[in-house]
């Protein structure tokens, strides 16, 4: 049995949490393979809204095992709060949640470093979530990091203090005030809490699932255009958010990757800084923002909104090997009489291209649009594809034709029931 991968194809916030929840009944295992508490996977069902930051989105399904993989960076404080927030659901975490021993820990000083680095950039801030993600991955690559498996080692305290001293030395070079003692108390409490969970060599767990023909869904965080290598650098996250990240973040061989589900919004959004060719600065952009409740699930920051960008979407499909597309938030565009899709970029020399420039920040890029008639009707109660407005069907089929990939799920609202599976 192969591992299916689900990931975002834009700048994050595509609706991955909802889709994982919808797909979860088909799988025995759901595994997060990268990112950390900078993710905010939103699920809505039974009239309740839930935002998961580190725990895989299959956790609400009783029979599904959920794995936090080695490619993730884990904040014990956030983890403890998440678990406590889910206590009312009577979830058997001992049975259904496993954490890789190789998962890197986010220390309080990682968050302090994150804030100090961002402050020092002045007007050139990249829009970090300030969750300590980047500094934690830095320590991982520099071979300084502390992993989940280390918390049961007899010399954990010493390792922790040595790394904190290194971080304090770096902080001393910045004009940045902090109170470490205040931040440390909940961290130590959370570490003790974490020790009671299933800490495993998750690569063995995953591969045993493959061998025994169990179904596995690898859940990505952020979006492909935030990938550390292939995203809009330097306005990116600190991990590989694409399909290859599932291999390194879970210990899965490339030959064992099956379907690749690519999620995208019917329009585009972005949180924080960075290039955004189709961004709307007018009333239409504000209407989309309001109708789509486009505010970050992790930070609360307003999301910038714009038209669907086909060159960017095709790029993400190419680097991920996407086999199926899932289109989210089609219902949001119901408020508009006219829609646009960017089909090409026009460069400063007049050249038309479908390719992503090396550096969007330095290249003058003007989007070339194709206009579509809107469907201007509420679609949230539609249950069958054949009953969708013809204008929405035309919009969907145009994207399929241009990308060469079928759109097999159309989301018409935040609830798991407001979903059409083709």
CA angle (25 as vertex; 19, 29 as ends), nearest 5: 90
For residues 167 and 62, what is the distance between their CA atoms, to the nearest angstrom?
A: 41
Q: From the centroid of its chain, how far is CA 100?
A: 19
Alpha carbons within 13 angstroms on the beta-carbon side of residue 131 total: 23
The closest of 289, 255, 239 to 104, measured between CA atoms, is: 239
Is the Cβ–Cβ distance between 72 and 32 less than 8 Å?
yes
| Catalytic residue set | 13, 41
Cβ-contact 45, 21 below 8 angstroms:
yes
**Three-class secondary structure of residue 264 per DSSP:** strand
pLDDT of residue 125: 65
Query: Regarding beta strands 41-45 and 48-52, do their DSSP bridges make them parallel or antiparallel, or are they unpaired?
Result: antiparallel
User: CB–CB of 39/293 below 8 Å?
Assistant: no
> Would you state the pLDDT for residue 124?
66
pLDDT averaged over 10-residue windows placed end to end, the chain, 422 residues: 96 86 89 86 63 83 92 96 85 91 97 88 71 94 97 96 95 87 91 96 97 96 95 92 97 98 97 92 96 81 95 98 97 97 93 88 87 95 95 98 98 91 91
- Taking Cα atoms as reference points, which of 122, 126, 162, 124 lies closest to residue 146? 162
| pLDDT at res. 93 | 87
Sign of CA dihedral 39, 308, 228, 223: positive
What pLDDT score does 72 carry? Answer: 96
Helical axes 108-120 vs 133-141, angle rounded to 10° = 110
Neighbouring C-beta atoms of residue 195, cutoff 10 Å: 13
Bridge partners for 369 per DSSP: 342
Task: Give the H/E segment covering residue 113.
Answer: helix 108-120
Instruction: List helix spans (H) across 156-201.
Output: 156-171, 180-194
Strands (E), 250-323: 257-265, 268-270, 304-306, 308-309
């Amino acid at each position: 049995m192969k591992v299916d991968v689900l990931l975002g194809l834009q700048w994050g916030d595509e609706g991955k949490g909802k889709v994982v929840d919808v797909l979860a009944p088909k799988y025995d295992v759901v595994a997060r393979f990268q990112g950390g508490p900078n993710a905010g996977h939103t699920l809505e069902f039974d009239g309740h809204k839930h935002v998961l930051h580190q725990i895989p989105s299959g956790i609400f399904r009783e029979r599904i095992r959920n794995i936090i993989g080695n490619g993730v960076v884990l904040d014990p404080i956030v983890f403890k709060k998440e678990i406590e927030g889910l206590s009312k659901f009577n979830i058997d975490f001992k049975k259904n949640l496993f954490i890789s021993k190789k998962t890197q820990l986010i220390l309080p000083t990682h968050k302090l470093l994150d804030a100090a680095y961002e402050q020092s950039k002045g007007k050139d801030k990249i829009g970090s979530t300030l969750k300590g993600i980047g500094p934690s991955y830095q320590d991982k690559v520099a071979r300084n990091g502390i992993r989940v498996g280390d918390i049961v080692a007899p010399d954990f305290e010493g390792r922790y203090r040595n790394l904190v001293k290194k971080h304090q030395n770096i902080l001393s070079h910045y004009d940045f005030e902090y109170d470490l003692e205040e931040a440390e108390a909940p961290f130590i409490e959370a570490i003790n809490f974490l020790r009671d969970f299933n800490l495993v060599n998750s690569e063995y767990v995953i591969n045993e699932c493959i061998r025994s023909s169990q179904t596995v869904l690898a859940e990505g965080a952020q979006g492909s255009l935030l990938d550390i290598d292939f995203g809009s650098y330097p306005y990116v996250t600190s991990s590989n958010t694409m399909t290859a990240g599932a291999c390194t973040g879970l210990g899965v061989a490339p030959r064992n990757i099956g379907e690749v589900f690519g999620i995208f919004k019917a329009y585009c959004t972005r949180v924080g800084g960075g290039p955004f060719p189709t961004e709307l600065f007018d009333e239409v952009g504000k209407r989309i923002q309001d109708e789509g409740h486009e505010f970050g699930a992790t930070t609360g920051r307003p999301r910038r909104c714009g038209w669907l960008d086909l060159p960017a979407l095709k790029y993400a499909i190419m680097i991920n090997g996407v086999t199926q597309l899932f289109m989210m938030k089609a219902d949001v565009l119901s408020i508009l009489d006219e829609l646009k899709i960017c089909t090409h970029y026009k460069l400063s020399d007049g050249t038309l291209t479908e390719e992503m420039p090396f550096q969007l920040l330095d290249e003058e890029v003007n989007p070339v649009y194709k206009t579509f008639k809107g469907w201007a009707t509420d679609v949230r109660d539609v249950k069958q594809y054949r009953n969708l407005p013809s204008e929405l069907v035309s919009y969907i089929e145009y994207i399929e034709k241009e990308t060469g990939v079928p759109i097999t799920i159309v989301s018409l609202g935040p609830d798991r029931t407001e979903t059409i599976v083709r």
